[in-house]
Amino acid sequence: MNIKSLLLGSAAALAVVSGAQAADAIVAAEPEPMEYVRVCDAFGTGYFYIPGTETCLKISGEVRATVYASEDSAEDWDSEVRARLAFEAKNDSEIGTIGSYIRIQGTAGALADERADVVLDQAYITVGGFLVGRDLTWVDDWGLAGESDAFFGNAIFNTISYTYTSDAFTVGLGVDDLSDDFAGNEVGVQGTLSAAIGPASLAAYAVYDFGDEEGGIAGVLSADIGPGTLGIAAGWASGQSTGYDFASEWTVGAAYTFKATEKLSITPQVVYYGDVDFTTADAWAADLYVEYQLASGLKASADVGYYDEDGADSNWNGFVRLTRSF
């Protein structure tokens, strides 16, 4: 056999084998197109469309680490770590914007024997201005920029409310389920009114506890003055409420947040309390709160405070804190 015959025979054999393999070849299926996550800008920043739906979802959270110190504490100092994770979903509908909000929270102290339970901190549904579910009510917004003010002791309930908002003002009315704090079923009502007038803003709050037949009113006036913001707050209650848990019969205070730089703010604050816990004792408190924005989503803060009540020992307290939010 010569070389030419050998080459022709080999080529014929390869052609037969190649034909057989071609007949048995498996053709791969075309990959299905992937639907990428789309940004939703209809309700603000941070939202994206849930794939396959027209519902916009926003995921946010916070981790906060704090070391506390206090003269009247059993321990000279203690630490606490708090974590929050929130989910907010919104979509347009024929009855208006439908929303839902869920916030899960867990808090643990270094000296605790067991890990703290994770709790459902907030969960509610909104349709237009209506809200139903478990929520921090409007009175949680009362207060100053410092850490020494207090008036409403309870501000989270199962609630139903309606809020109307315009360019000039906001008004709201709601009903709170106070049954968690009473032996029986009791309710309370709450209302709020806020308005902005140039560089100033005013917010007023009112609550009434039908179980104890007691109520309270409070307000905050704030205005941009100089290189910062001045806030003045006051509150008064007709008597102690089991549901809303007023700190005193009346209180008044002031704070000034000085914007030292774009990242650094310093807030001195002083507050006076009349008839603390509805006794004959008065008290005053003061603190200095400092906050520094280390980076986007990361801030450091510290506070030192003083509290002096009639007939009781005075107390120095404070904390240092690092907060990461996203």
Residues 255-276 pLDDT 10s: 999 999 999 999 999 999 999 9
pLDDT at 115: 59
305: left (phi over 0), alpha (psi -120 to 50) or beta: beta
Residue ranges in 52-202 assigned as alpha helix (H): none
Average the pLDDT over each of 21-30, 84-93, 154-163, 309-318 and give the range with the smallest value. Answer: 21-30
Task: Report the alpha-carbon distance of residue 6 to residue 2 in Å, rounded.
Answer: 6
Is the pLDDT reported for residue 25 higher than 50? yes
Is the pLDDT reported for residue 220 higher than 90? yes
For 196-200, the CB contacts below 8 A with 24+ separation are 196/168, 196/169, 199/223, 199/224, 200/224
In this prediction, residues 116-122 reach a mean pLDDT of: 87
Is the pLDDT reported for residue 310 higher than 60? yes
pLDDT at 259: 97
In this prediction, residues 234-243 reach a mean pLDDT of: 96
Contact 136, 156 (CB under 8 A): yes
Residues 37-75 pLDDT 10s: 899 999 999 999 999 999 999 999 999 999 999 998 777
Phi, psi of 217 (to 5 degrees): -130, 150
In this prediction, residues 230-250 reach a mean pLDDT of: 97
Sign of the dihedral through C-alpha 141, 142, 145, 148: negative
Contact 142, 253 (CB under 8 A): no
Is the pLDDT reported for residue 3 higher than 80? no
Is the pLDDT reported for residue 211 higher than 90? yes
pLDDT at 27: 60
Sign of the dihedral through C-alpha 188, 231, 297, 99: positive
Is the pLDDT reported for residue 123 higher than 70? yes
Residues 133-153 pLDDT 10s: 999 999 999 999 999 999 999
Task: Report the alpha-carbon distance of residue 131 to residue 192 in Å, rounded.
Answer: 14
Task: Report the alpha-carbon distance of residue 288 to residue 276 in Å, rounded.
Answer: 22
Task: Report the alpha-carbon distance of residue 181 to residue 159 in Å, rounded.
Answer: 14
**Residue type, position 269, single letter:** Q
Average the pLDDT over each of 114-118, 244-248, 307-311 and give the range with the smallest value. Answer: 114-118
Q: What pTM was computed for the model?
A: 0.84
Beta strand 228-237 with 56-70: parallel, antiparallel or unpaired? unpaired
pLDDT at 7: 38
pLDDT at 87: 98
Q: What is the dihedral of CA 303, 308, 314, 318, to 10 degrees?
A: -10
Q: In this predicted model, which residue has the larger pLDDT, 108 or 122?
A: 122
Beta strand 283-295 with 298-309: parallel, antiparallel or unpaired? antiparallel
Sign of the dihedral through C-alpha 119, 61, 322, 267: negative
The single residue listed with the structure tokens 């520094």 is 292
Nearest alpha carbon to residue 134 among 109, 159, 165, 108: 159
pLDDT at 33: 61
Phi, psi of 21 (to 5 degrees): -65, -35
Is the pLDDT reported for residue 5 higher than 70? no
Strand ranges, E, within the chain: 39-40, 47-49, 56-70, 77-91, 98-109, 118-127, 130-136, 156-165, 169-177, 187-197, 200-209, 214-225, 228-237, 248-259, 264-276, 283-295, 298-309, 315-325
Contact 217, 236 (CB under 8 A): yes
The mean pLDDT value of the chain amounts to 90
- Given pLDDT bands bounded at 50, 70 and 90, which one contains residue 6? very low
Is the pLDDT reported for residue 175 higher than 70? yes
pLDDT at 4: 44
Contact 248, 261 (CB under 8 A): no
pLDDT at 34: 59
